[in-house]
Structure 1
Amino acid sequence: MIPNQLTVFFMIIYLLESLTIIVQSSLIVAVLSREWVQVKRLSPVDMILISLGICRFCLQWSSVLYNFYSYFHPDNELWYIGVIWEFTNTLTFWLTSLLAVVYCVKVSSFTHAIFLWLRWRILRLIPRLLLGSLMISCVTIIVSTIRNYIKSQVISMMQLPGNNTETEILKSFLEKYYKHQNLAMLFIPFLLFLAAIILLIASLSQHLRQIRHHNADHSNSSMKVHASALRYFAFLLIFFTSYFLTIIISIKYILGYKSSWFWAWETLIYATVSIHLTSLMLSSSTLKKGLKVSCNGPKLPEAPGTTRL
């Protein structure tokens, strides 16, 4: 099948975005893995970021393979690649919501007993929460595999001669079930993300107002740090919400692979992903330090007897 010029344009943009996301994900994993080897430990945020990097890498490759194969071979469907995409996409949502919860617990100034307990326990809980996110996402694989198997059987039955009314009803039911399953799988972690980020922004805003009230000097360094953090988390809220809405719309109103609008929509989805990854990279001091070392080269060892300032 030969695509038209508009489709080719959006395909190229989509490929460039995919390449950017793959490079960003690889950098996150490489830098944090090196830090892990050197220091033998990672902060809770960096543990989640390295998991997100691996997840995004697999997600983007599965998206590229599935979309292009489905476009050029519409009669065949790589359903197992679609299952991998669903799994990694669900896991991405849970990891992002977990990251928002960690930020909320560590950065917010709430003094409630639950927040104080979580602040004390969060480092020990992260490995368990990561494992829990993985196990919840594994349910997606099981459910999607069963659904795709039933769907393939229904399609085979429809090719047989006779009355296909019942098989059409079953096929329609499976399509509706797929939409509702994906909505449920994504809505729960997104709701958790939304609650954590809104609480965090509310806490930072309240603290910023208190600093302004008690300090007449608006150039105070503490106030600048709080304002910068507030902008960052507002930015994170906007772009992850945009990603969630584009995914939900694409699930609810499935566009045909032959349509130029499908590829336009894919470019919109993964543009938000690339911006979201950039913001996550800028949020980690470990990543920023590691990227500077990679760009500028390793520092020369200090002479014996010198002191570090």
Structure 2
Amino acid sequence: MIPNQLTVFFMTIYLLESLTIIVQSSLIVAVLSREWVQVKRLSPVDMILISLGVCRFCLQWSSVLHNFCSYFNPDDDLWYIAIIWEFTNTLAFWLTSLLAVVYCVKVSSFTYAIFLWLRWRILRLIPQLLLGSLMISCVTIIVSAIKHYIKSQLILQLPRNITKTETLRTFLEKYYIGQHLAMLFIPFLLFLTCTILLIASLCQHLRQIRHHDTGHSNSSMKAHATALRFLAFFLIFFTSYFLTIIISTKYILKHKTSWFWAYETIIYATVSIHLTSLMLSSPTLKKVLKVSCYGPKLP
């Protein structure tokens, strides 16, 4: 299949974005792995970030392979690559929501009993929560594999009854879309709740600081304002990613259209920006980026 000029344009942008995401994910994993080897420990946030880096790396490769193979070989059944993409995408949502929970519990100034209890327990539970996110995401593989098996086996057994075949195919597609959206909506709702609570907590603390006019309070106000801008930025782009995934899932676009590649460009542009914001949230990664951009500081 020979693509038109508009399709080639969007495919090129998508490919550049994919390479950027792969490099970003590799950098996160490499830097934090080196830190792990040198210091023999990782902070809870860095544990989530290194898991998210591996996840995004696999997610982007599966996306590239599935999209280009489906475009140039539309007759091939690439269900196994689609399952890998679905698994890593669901896991990325859960890891991002877990990161939001950790930030909310550690940074927020709420004094409710549930926050105090979580603040005491959350850091110890990170390995178990990472394992739980992995197990929940594995459910998507099981459901997707069952759906594919039913489509490939039962539908083939009803070749003469076109009505039953189409009814079964429609039911499977609606069930699959509903299950996929539910698996993404739950972690996104958790992420949204924690981020809004954290923004509310910072705004409340910022109002308290404004009553003081000391130099220390001015520096604190600047730090809180920077944190609020970062959170708003983080919220906007992850929400944009969620909405584009929902739209592309509910209104399935064919690979041969330019609109499909335009949607892919929008989706992974938000992913790249989201990864950049995550890298800037880690002191270790931020330090490496500063050294890479400006060089080491001379004594």
Same fold (TM over 0.5): yes
- Which of 227, 236, 247 aligns to 1:229? It is 227
Find the aligned partners of 1:142 and 1:282 in 2 and give their Cα distance: 35
TM-superposed deviation, 1:145:
0.6
**Matching of residues 59-98 of structure 1 within 5 Å:** 59-98=59-98
Identity score, percent: 83
CA RMSD of aligned residues (A): 1.8
What is the match of residue 254 of structure 2? Answer: 256
Question: SS in structure 1 opposite 2:161?
Answer: coil
**Matching of residues 73-222 of structure 1 within 5 Å:** 73-157=73-157, 160=159, 162-215=160-213, 220-222=218-220
In the alignment, is the contact (CA less than 8 A) between 2:209 and 2:217 conserved in 1?
A: no
What is the match of residue 40 of structure 2? Answer: 40
TM-superposed deviation, 1:77:
1.8
Which letter maps to 2:285?
L
Matched, 1:246 2:226: no
What is the match of residue 23 of structure 2? Answer: 23
What is the match of residue 305 of structure 1? Answer: none
Which letter maps to 2:134?
L
Question: SS in structure 1 opposite 2:231?
Answer: helix
- CA deviation map 1:229-264 (0-9, x unaligned): 011011110000000000000000001111000000
- CA deviation map 1:161-216 (0-9, x unaligned): x2221111101101101110111000000000000000000000111111112337
What is the match of residue 268 of structure 2? Answer: 270
In the alignment, is the contact (CA less than 8 A) between 1:31 and 1:291 conserved in 2?
A: no
Number of residue pairs matched by the alignment: 299
Find the aligned partners of 1:98 and 1:116 in 2 and give their Cα distance: 17
TM-superposed deviation, 1:156:
2.7
Find the aligned partners of 1:260 and 1:235 in 2 and give their Cα distance: 29
Find the aligned partners of 1:218 and 1:241 in 2 and give their Cα distance: 34
In the alignment, is the contact (CA less than 8 A) between 1:104 and 1:199 conserved in 2?
A: yes
Find the aligned partners of 1:52 and 1:6 in 2 and give their Cα distance: 33
- CA deviation map 1:287-308 (0-9, x unaligned): 11233455677789x9xxxxxx
What is the match of residue 307 of structure 1? Answer: none
Find the aligned partners of 1:154 and 1:24 in 2 and give their Cα distance: 43
Distance 1:203 1:219, change over 3 A: closer
5+ residue gaps, structure 1, are 303-309
Find the aligned partners of 2:234 and 2:13 in 1 and give their Cα distance: 23
Which letter maps to 1:132?
G
Find the aligned partners of 2:247 and 2:197 in 1 and give their Cα distance: 27
In the alignment, is the contact (CA less than 8 A) between 1:22 and 1:60 conserved in 2?
A: yes
TM-superposed deviation, 1:153:
1.9
TM-superposed deviation, 1:219:
7.4
Which letter maps to 1:226?
H
Find the aligned partners of 1:131 and 1:44 in 2 and give their Cα distance: 13
When the two structures are superposed, what TM-score results if normalisation uses the length of structure 2? 0.96
Which letter maps to 2:231?
F
